A and B are shown apart, each in its own frame.
Chain A
Amino acid sequence: MTAAASEPKANMGQPVPRYDATAKVTGRATYASDMPLDNPAYAFLVTSAIAKGRIDRFDLDDAGRVRGVIDIVTHENAPKLKESKLFSNGGYAGTTIQPLKSAEIAHDGQIIAVVIAESYEAAREAANRIKVSYTAATPSASFDSPGTTTATAKGQNSQFKEDPKVGDFAKAFDAAEVKLTASYDTPTQHHNPMELFTTSCAWMGDNLVIYEGSQFVYGLKNGVAEQLGIDADKVRVVNPYVGGGFGSRGSMTPRTAIIAGIAKRLNRPIKLVPTRDQGFTIATYRAETRHEIKLGASRDGRLVALRHEGAEVSSRPDAYCVGGTKTTTRLYACPNVDSLVSIVRADRNTPGFMRSPPEVPYLFALESALDELAVKLDMDPIELRRINDTTNEPISGKPYTSRSLMACFDEAAKAFGWGQRSPQPKSMSDGDWLIGYGCAATCYPTQMAPSAARVRLQRDGRTRVEIAGHEIGTGAYTVIAQTAAERLGVPLEKVAVFIGDSELPPAPVAGGSNSTASTCSAVMMVCDQIRQRLLKAVMPSDSLADKAKETVGISPAPSTQAAKGDRSLDLEKAFDALGVVVLEEYGEWKPEGAPLDSFRAMHNGQVRLIGGHAMKDQIAYAFGAEFVEVRVNRFTHEIRCPRLVGAFAAGRIMNPRTARSQLMGGLIWGMSSALLEATELDERNARYVNDNLADYLVPVNADVPGVEVIMLSEQDDHINPVGAKGLGELANVGTNAAICNAIYHATGQRIRKLPVRLENIEV
C-alpha cells in the first residue's frame, strides 16, 4: 500500500484506484475542448477595456479584412437571447449581466464582441484588430470606492433568509469579563481551474450539443434552452471529464448561449477557447469580504457573547452573497449571539461560489478571533475550543447529527506534536527562522439534493450505472462504481459508469459537497430495486418482507451493513428463475425533508439542497482540526509552511484514497489562500491586474513539502442512506486562520488581512 491508499478504518470503503485513472494518465480522458467536431469554426472573444460606460462605435474594417474571418458579432448584430435568473435566486445564471445585449458596459472584461474565423489564429488576429470607442464613466471598484451602495443581505438575496441571533448580545458583551473586538479582511480570489472556460456548440437540425466543462449539466442544459427560447429536450450537455471546477462551473456563464446562438446562425459547429485572462471576467470569483467579530467570555473561557458582522462585494445588478454567519453563529456554545451581513454593490462582474464559499472567509475571521481570545485568556487554543464545544447549535438548539470536532483536535495535535509548542510568541526558532505553531477548527455543512439513477444488471454480473453526475476530480466515477458493486454484490471491475451527460438521469450540481451523498444514495436505492426483483424470484414470499425491508427501504444504515446480509444471493440462479438476462431499473431519490417540488426541480436543473443548518430537527456538519508550522525568516521575512496536518471526520469515507487526495488538496488550497492567492484590483479602473497564472500566485510543488491527512472513523445514521458527509470543501476552510495563528506565534504579530505576504511582516 502506498501512502495514497491508506488502510481503511471502521466505516470506510476500500481505497481502490480511480475508475478513470488509466484514461487520465494516457491522455485518453476527453475534456470539453478535446471533443471532435465536424469542420468547426473558431471563436475568439473581445472583452471590454473599461469597467463602466458604453460603447460608442466599433471599427471592424481591419478585423474584417483578416483572411479567414467569417463573422464578427457585437451587440448590434448578436443573436437575441432571453434573460435567465441568478442561480441563487432559483435560476441558472451566475450573472444577470448579459453581454452583447446593448452598448452598456457593466464591468471590466465584459464580452463585447465575438470573432468567428476558419482558424484559431485568424480569429485571434482579427479580435486584436477590432477598434472600440467608448464613453467611459468612473467605476466603483470595491469597498472604499466612492459610488458603491450598501444594504443588508436580508431582503435582497432569496437564499439569505435571516441574520442569526439569540439572547441579548449587547447586554452580555457589556458585562463580559474578557472582551475582544477585531476586524478581518479577505481578498478577491479566482478559481483558476486548469481547464479554460471553453465551449463548443454543434447543432444537428433543431438539436444542440454543448461540450463544456460544467459542474451541473442539467442546469446548463435548461439554462441555455431558456436563453435560446427552445425546449430543454433539444439541448444536450456532454462532459465526461471536467478539468477542475472549484465552483466556477456550477452556474451558467453568458458565453454558452452566445456561442450556441452564433453556431445556429452560421449553421456550423463553433469552438471557443477563451484565454486565461478572459477567464477572470467571463466567469465568477470569490469576492473580497470584511468582518468585525466581537467576543465576550468569562475568565474561565466560556463564550457569553458573540457577534459577527460581514460585508461582501457584489455586482450592480446581482445581490450575490455567501453569508457565512449561518455557520459561525452556530459553531460554538454561546447564549448571546448577534450577526449582520451586508452587500456592497460595485462595478464588477458578479461573484460566485468558490470552494467553501461562506466558510473560507467567515471562519477565517471567527477562528482567528478565537485564537486572539485564547491569548487574552492565557489559555491553550485547543482548550478554548473544548470548553465551548457543544452538541447543540446555540441559535435554535438543534442537535448536531454527529460532531467529532474535539476528537479531530486531539488526533491532529498528537500527530503534529502540539505538546512541544512553547506558548509564548517568538519563543521558538531555528537559526534565522522564527517558528510558529498554529491551529484552527474547520467545518462544512453536510448537504444532499434529489438525484436519479438508472442501473442495468446482466446475468453475468456486468453492470451499467447511468447518472448525470460530474467528474471534477473528486472521484465521482470511482465511488459510484464502488457503491453499485457493493450493493449488487458484483465485482468492481464489472461495473461501468456513465456520467457527465445531460441525457442521463438527473443528478444535482457538483457543488456544496453534496455529490457523493446524493448520487450514491440514488444509485444505492436503484440497486436495491434490482435486488428486490431478483429476491422475489428466488425467495419464498414470507421471508421476502423482511429481506425487502432490509435492502429496499431507504434505511439509514450505511450501505455495507445492509448489503452484507444479502451477499448469498446467487445472481445466475435468480436471473434464471426470472427467465431474463438483463434487469434495468430507474429511480428518483430525495433526502428527507426535501420540498414537494423536488423531483420536478431536479429535472428542470434547479437545485434543492437540503442539509447543514437548514434541516428540520437537526443540524449536520463535517468537522476537522488543522495544525500548521510556519517559519518566518528573521531578516527577509520570507514565510514558509513546511508542515500542514489535518484530522477530519466526515461520516462514511467511501474511498480513503480519493478522500485523502481531496482533503490534501484542500489543505494546500487553504495554505494558498492564506499566503499566496489574491486577485489584485486596480481601484481606479475596477480592473483585475494579475490575471494570469504567473502573477496570480497558486502553489507549485516546491511550496508544499509536508502534508499529513488523518481521517477519523465516524458513523452518522441521521444524514443520508450512504452515511457520507461531503468533504471536498472541508479541508480548505480552517487553514487560513491556522496559518495566521501560527504567524502570530512565530512573530508576535497578529495579521488580520489575507493573504499574508512578506511585506506584511514587521518583526
Chain B
Amino acid sequence: MSDKSSSRPSGFDRRAFMAGAAGSVLVPMTARAAAQDASAPVAQDPSLPVEVTLRVNGKEKHLHLDARTTVLDALREHLKLTGSKKGCDHGQCGACTVLIDDRRVVSCLTLALAAEGQEITTIEGLATDDRLHPMQQAFIDNDAFQCGYCTPGQIMSAVACVKEGHAGNEADIREYMSGNICRCAAYPNIVAAVKQAAPEIMKG
C-alpha cells in the first residue's frame, strides 16, 4: 500500500514538480520556467511517483503518488477515505467537496501536491467521538438526502456556508448551496437542515 506511516517530511520541491508535470504537454512553459530559474532541477518523468504528505482529519499521511493525483483520488484510492465522492471529476457537481484550511474546495480539481501543508477535513473527520456534527444531525432530522451520494459534499459545503456567514436567510442558503447538485432533488430539505444547524454551529 502506498500509505506509509513514517513521519519523514516529503522534501518534495513543488517547483520541480510543476516543471516536470507540464513537461509532456506544455513544452514552451517548461522551457520558460527552466530559463527563469537556473537552479531548477531537470524535469522529471511525471509518471514517476512522488512523495506527498497530506494532513487529513488531523493526521499526517505520507503517500507515494502519481504527481497528477487529485486530492479526491488520493483520499479515495490511497487513503481509503471513500466518503468524498466522484460525481463528475470536473468541479461541476460538488460531490467531492472537502474543507482545505476551512475553505470548501472541490477535491477533484485540486492536486494532492497542491494541498501539502494544509489541513484537509473530510466527511469522516466531521463527527467527534461518535457524536454527530450538528449539520449531520440536521440532515437526518430534515431528510435532506435520498440516495446519499452527494450528501458528504453537501454537508461539507453546508458547514462552510454557515461559517462564511451565508446562512442568514433561505435565499442566501439556496444561493450559496447551489454549487452542490443533488439529483434526487432534496433541495428544500437541505435548506431546512442548514437553517436548523446554523445557530448551533455559529455558537460553538
Q: Give chain A's interface residues, CB within 8 Å of chain B.
A: 2-5, 17-18, 20-31, 33-34, 36, 66-68, 119-122, 125, 192-196, 241-246, 273, 275-276, 471-475, 657-658, 660-662, 664-665, 668-669, 672, 692-694, 698-707
Nearest chain B residue, comparing its CB with the CB of A29: B148
In the complex, the answer to whether B147 meets A33 with C-beta atoms within 8 Å is no
Answer yes or no: B107 CB below 8 A from chain A CBs: no
- With contact pairs A24-B151, A28-B83 given, residues A658 and B143 touching in the complex (Cβ less than 8 Å): yes
In the complex, the answer to whether B83 meets A661 with C-beta atoms within 8 Å is no
In the complex, the answer to whether B140 meets A692 with C-beta atoms within 8 Å is no
Answer yes or no: B165 CB below 8 A from chain A CBs: no
- With contact pairs A5-B143, A657-B143, A694-B90 given, residues A120 and B73 touching in the complex (Cβ less than 8 Å): yes
- Bound: A68/B45 CA distance, A: 13
- With contact pairs A33-B86, A121-B66, A692-B92 given, residues A194 and B150 touching in the complex (Cβ less than 8 Å): yes
Nearest chain B residue, comparing its CB with the CB of A198: B86
For residue A213, give the distance in angstroms from its CB to the closest CB of chain B: 9
For residue A355, give the distance in angstroms from its CB to the closest CB of chain B: 10
A-B contact pairs, 30 of them (CB 8 A): A3-B142, A4-B144, A4-B189, A17-B143, A18-B143, A29-B148, A33-B76, A121-B47, A121-B69, A193-B147, A194-B87, A194-B147, A195-B149, A196-B86, A241-B148, A243-B85, A243-B87, A244-B184, A245-B147, A276-B87, A657-B143, A661-B143, A692-B88, A693-B90, A693-B92, A699-B187, A701-B177, A701-B180, A707-B187, A707-B188
Answer yes or no: B8 CB below 8 A from chain A CBs: no
Q: Which chain A residues lie closer than 8 Å to B90 at the CB level? A: 276, 692-694
Answer yes or no: B53 CB below 8 A from chain A CBs: no
Q: Which of A23, A25, A241, A701 contacts B147 (CB 8 A)?
A: A241
Per-residue CB contact flags for chain B residues 161-196 toward chain A (1 = under 8 Å, else 0) read 000000000110111011111111111111110001
Q: Give chain B's interface residues, CB within 8 Å of chain A.
A: 45, 47-48, 66, 68-69, 73, 76-77, 80-90, 92-93, 95, 122-124, 126-127, 132, 136-137, 139-152, 155, 170-171, 173-175, 177-192, 196
- Bound: A675/B48 CA distance, A: 48
In the complex, the answer to whether A122 meets B151 with C-beta atoms within 8 Å is no
- Bound: A125/B21 CA distance, A: 12
For residue B156, give the distance in angstroms from its CB to the closest CB of chain A: 10
Q: Which chain A residues lie closer than 8 Å to B144 at the CB level? A: 4
- Bound: A66/B47 CA distance, A: 8
In the complex, the answer to whether B149 meets A243 with C-beta atoms within 8 Å is yes
Q: Which chain B residues lie closer than 8 Å to A34 at the CB level? A: 76, 82
- With contact pairs A24-B151, A27-B122 given, residues A665 and B142 touching in the complex (Cβ less than 8 Å): no
In the complex, the answer to whether A668 meets B185 with C-beta atoms within 8 Å is yes
In the complex, the answer to whether B92 meets A243 with C-beta atoms within 8 Å is no
Q: Which chain A residues lie closer than 8 Å to B175 at the CB level? A: 701-702
Nearest chain A residue, comparing its CB with the CB of B90: A692
In the complex, the answer to whether A701 meets B190 with C-beta atoms within 8 Å is yes
In the complex, the answer to whether A194 meets B181 with C-beta atoms within 8 Å is yes
Most buried by A among B86, B136, B144, B183: B183
- Bound: A702/B196 CA distance, A: 18
Nearest chain A residue, comparing its CB with the CB of B139: A25
Q: Which of B88, B155, B184, B186 contacts A25 (CB 8 A)?
A: B155
Q: Which of B95, B132, B171, B181 contacts A700 (CB 8 A)?
A: B181
- Bound: A707/B150 CA distance, A: 20
Nearest chain A residue, comparing its CB with the CB of B68: A121
- Bound: A33/B77 CA distance, A: 10
- Bound: A27/B85 CA distance, A: 9
Q: Which of A4, A119, A693 contacts B181 (CB 8 A)?
A: A693
Nearest chain A residue, comparing its CB with the CB of B67: A121
Q: Which chain A residues lie closer than 8 Å to B83 at the CB level? A: 26-28
Q: Which of B82, B180, B190 contacts A27 (CB 8 A)?
A: B82
Q: Which chain B residues lie closer than 8 Å to A668 at the CB level? A: 185, 187
- Bound: A25/B142 CA distance, A: 12
Q: Which of B45, B95, B127, B182 contacts A26 (CB 8 A)?
A: B127
- Bound: A707/B88 CA distance, A: 27
The dominant DSSP class at the B interface is: loop
In the complex, the answer to whether B141 meets A4 with C-beta atoms within 8 Å is yes
In the complex, the answer to whether A21 meets B87 with C-beta atoms within 8 Å is no
Q: Which chain A residues lie closer than 8 Å to B183 at the CB level? A: 192-194, 244, 246, 698
Q: Which chain B residues lie closer than 8 Å to A669 at the CB level? A: 185
- With contact pairs A694-B92, A701-B191 given, residues A474 and B146 touching in the complex (Cβ less than 8 Å): yes
In the complex, the answer to whether B142 meets A2 with C-beta atoms within 8 Å is yes
For residue B3, give the distance in angstroms from its CB to the closest CB of chain A: 13
Q: Which chain A residues lie closer than 8 Å to B184 at the CB level? A: 244, 473, 661, 665
Nearest chain A residue, comparing its CB with the CB of B124: A27
Q: Which of A22, A245, A699 contacts B140 (CB 8 A)?
A: A22
Q: Which of B81, B127, B192 contacts A2 (CB 8 A)?
A: B192
Q: Which chain B residues lie closer than 8 Å to A243 at the CB level? A: 85, 87, 147-149
Q: Which chain B residues lie closer than 8 Å to A25 at the CB level? A: 123, 132, 136-137, 139-140, 145, 151, 155
In the complex, the answer to whether A664 meets B185 with C-beta atoms within 8 Å is yes
In the complex, the answer to whether B147 meets A472 with C-beta atoms within 8 Å is yes
Q: Which chain A residues lie closer than 8 Å to B191 at the CB level? A: 701
- Bound: A658/B137 CA distance, A: 17
Q: Give the 6 A-B CB pairs with smallest separation, nearest first.
A: A27-B83, A243-B149, A473-B147, A473-B146, A24-B148, A34-B82
- With contact pairs A20-B148, A196-B87 given, residues A661 and B136 touching in the complex (Cβ less than 8 Å): no
In the complex, the answer to whether A702 meets B178 with C-beta atoms within 8 Å is yes
For residue A727, give the distance in angstroms from its CB to the closest CB of chain B: 13
Most buried by B among A25, A698, A703: A25
In the complex, the answer to whether A17 meets B132 with C-beta atoms within 8 Å is no
For residue A365, give the distance in angstroms from its CB to the closest CB of chain B: 24
- Bound: A698/B189 CA distance, A: 17
For residue B38, give the distance in angstroms from its CB to the closest CB of chain A: 29
Q: Which chain B residues lie closer than 8 Å to A275 at the CB level? A: 89
For residue B186, give the distance in angstroms from its CB to the closest CB of chain A: 6
For residue B63, give the distance in angstroms from its CB to the closest CB of chain A: 12
In the complex, the answer to whether B147 meets A242 with C-beta atoms within 8 Å is yes
Nearest chain B residue, comparing its CB with the CB of A244: B147
Q: Which of A18, A122, A241, A661 contacts B66 (CB 8 A)?
A: A122
- Bound: A693/B150 CA distance, A: 14
Q: Which of A21, A242, A661 contacts B186 (CB 8 A)?
A: A661
Q: Which of B66, B140, B171 contacts A119 (CB 8 A)?
A: B66
Q: Which chain A residues lie closer than 8 Å to B174 at the CB level? A: 701-702, 704-705
Q: Which chain B residues lie closer than 8 Å to A120 at the CB level? A: 73, 77
In the complex, the answer to whether B124 meets A276 with C-beta atoms within 8 Å is no
- Bound: A745/B170 CA distance, A: 29
Q: Which chain A residues lie closer than 8 Å to B48 at the CB level? A: 67
- Bound: A20/B89 CA distance, A: 26
Q: Which of A4, A119, A125, A244 contacts B143 (CB 8 A)?
A: A4
Nearest chain B residue, comparing its CB with the CB of A196: B86
Q: Given contact pairs A193-B149, A195-B147, A471-B147, enumerate 19 new A-B contacts (beta carbons under 8 Å).
A: A2-B192, A4-B192, A18-B140, A22-B140, A25-B140, A25-B145, A26-B124, A67-B45, A121-B47, A193-B147, A196-B87, A244-B184, A276-B87, A661-B189, A664-B185, A664-B188, A692-B88, A701-B191, A707-B187
Q: Which chain B residues lie closer than 8 Å to A245 at the CB level? A: 147
Nearest chain A residue, comparing its CB with the CB of B69: A121
